[in-house]
A and B are shown apart, each in its own frame.
Chain A
Amino acid sequence: MANLKDLKTRIDSVKSTRKITKAMQMVAAAKLRRAQESAEAARPYALQMGVVLGNLAKGAANSPTAPRLLAGSGKDDVHLLIVATSERGLCGGFNSSIVKLARLKIDELVAAGKTVKLITVGKKGREQLKREFGDLMIKHVDMTDVKNVGYVNAQEIATDVLARFDASEFDVATVFFSRFRTVMDQTPTALQLIPAVFEDAGDDATSPNYDYEPDEDAILADLLPRSVTTQIFTALLENGASEQGARMSAMDNATRNAGDMIDALTIQFNRTRQAAITNELIEIISGAEAL
């Protein structure tokens, strides 16, 4: 039977673990609020961009002069997957679920005989993918030093991706990230960047016939790279919010588990203590009787 001192030490250690997870939960909650705010602040821009591009793309998609970013390179052989994960762990299944989705896609592409290239954003995803797909990785973006994800960070990634596309290093680019729905619910998502896909804006009567300056094609050529940047930016922001949300609920769970464990250990501690007292009493009484 565990002795009292051991139990006491364990209770204390679980208590301090609970303190840490509780603190992390609170930090995550504060960061989540900020991350959510910036994700929401970015939404009007992305939305507007989507609408305008959707309108433009509808007209240009079938024209022979459509930019390559929209029409694609005409092939489907080399796939670039950008896997965005977090820099830090202790956030439940957040990273694993993104990596899982990416892994499924990689397996599927490889099975179909395509070439896959990987760009990882965030340390955690790289660690998980390195073992299996280390030879597919062409670049890793380190975000350890980035406190708040800015447009600049997205721009950096986008510039690199676009340059690789211009150099015909790949045909299709997809970004993997976790879409933030609620604190409890983050959905790993794959979003195709190149060639650009737009949700059909439908028959919206709200879109008037625009005059373009410079002409339509020039605007489209100017906007498409921006749209790639915006989409990466959105992905990073959603990821940031999801990460904090996942961490918050993971830490909440951990705190609760630690509490349960402390209760169980305390009961065991009390029982052991009583057993020890009873034992001592028996010893004293039987000692006295023997006299």
Chain B
Amino acid sequence: MADTMTFDLVSPERKLASVEATSVNIPGMEGDMTAMPNHAAFLTTLRPGVVKVNNGNDVTEYVVTGGFAEVSAEGTTILAEEALLKSEATKEKLQALLERAEAELERAAAHENAEAARRVAGHKELLLRHSL
């Protein structure tokens, strides 16, 4: 049986990773989950959090700010709105992301876009918790 699967992490601006992995930890909208090879196909949206990719030897961690993940038996694809290596995620960068989320919230509120406001609020809170 296959003990690895392909893992792709793409953001709108570039492809961040395309590797073989034994397991991937995904911060799903309704809770964290771990995808392993031959996982049943599913699709979930992401909340801001950390994606952990285990390739059997070591673990690579990425910070994502939202997006969605597609899991099938052969592989996992994460389409992240924004993603960076956790080792590169400094407090300043996270702070900047948070500020942008806040600015977005403000703009969304101006348009009375409750849906967007709710999403951004969650975004903000999670980012804040994460940066601590």
Residues of A near any B CB (own CB < 8 A): 38, 41-42, 44-46, 48-49, 52, 56, 150-152, 154, 159, 162-163, 166-167, 208-214, 218-219, 221-223, 225-226, 229-230, 233
Contacts and interface: CB of A to CB of B under 8 A. Distances in A.
B84 interface: no
Given A213-B29, A213-B42, A222-B68, A159 B13 contact: no
B72 A208 contact: yes
Interface in B65-90: 67-68, 70, 72-73, 77, 79, 81-82
7 contacts: A45-B11, A151-B81, A162-B113, A163-B108, A210-B42, A219-B45, A230-B12
Given A46-B12, A151-B12, 18 more contacts: A38-B13, A41-B15, A44-B15, A45-B10, A159-B107, A163-B113, A166-B112, A167-B111, A211-B41, A211-B43, A212-B43, A213-B30, A213-B42, A213-B43, A218-B45, A219-B43, A219-B68, A223-B68
B11 to A, nearest CB: 7
A152 B96 CA distance: 13
Contact of A212 (B44, B67, B79): B44
A214 B41 contact: no
Interface residues of B, number: 35
B14 interface: yes
B42 A159 contact: no
Nearest to A234: B12
A49 B13 CA distance: 13
Interface string B101-122: 0001001100111011001000
B28 A213 contact: yes
Nearest to A156: B107
A218 to B, nearest CB: 8
A41 B13 contact: yes
A48 B45 contact: no
B41 A49 contact: no
B59 interface: no
B40 interface: yes
A208 B73 contact: yes
